Amino acid sequence: MSAGQKRAVFLDRDGVLNEIVMRGATVGSPRTVDEFRLLPEAPSAVERLRKIGFEVHVVSNQPDVARGLLTADALSEMHELLCRACPVDGVHVCIHDDSDNCSCRKPKPGLILKVARERHINLSASYLIGDSWRDVGAALAAGCRPVLLRRPYNEGVVSPLEAFTLAEAVDLIAAGR
């Protein structure tokens, strides 16, 4: 790692830091502040990552904004709640849908690459913790190491590193895996 470059852990939001919302059999993101529930382990996991020398950045697809199902104000309020509870260095969001074909919507790496450029982050020394194939794909495309959180809804997704909880993912990173 060259001088002045930092290490970071990029965190997906839904299913990693906050509970996912089930709508029937469909996995979804919170659409209202009332639906936004931080996972109990999130603040301590973020704090631990910072203590072991990582910047922590949330990188999240939020296409419900483009779909008209989530307001920008509600999204902003959710992120204010998240930032008050978790000492993250930044929250970075793609509000586009797949049809927009933007470079920031995971699995494309644009959001991660932008943060890395702005914050002087060494991606080869960094990680992305997520719960979907999009997260694994974005991590690999950006040149950082993916850690997949195993969930009932991501069966069949493959990642070089896997954990069942955010705390276990932090343990893997702390061990230098």
Which residues are annotated as catalytic? 12, 14
Q: Measured on CA atoms in the order 173, 131, 135, 67, is the torsion positive or negative?
A: negative
Which residues are 70's β-sheet partners? none
List Cα–Cα distances, 51 to 85, 89, 138, 140, 170, in angstroms: 16, 13, 25, 25, 11
Q: How far apart are CA 152 and CA 51, in angstroms?
A: 31
Token look-up 């922590």 returns: 56
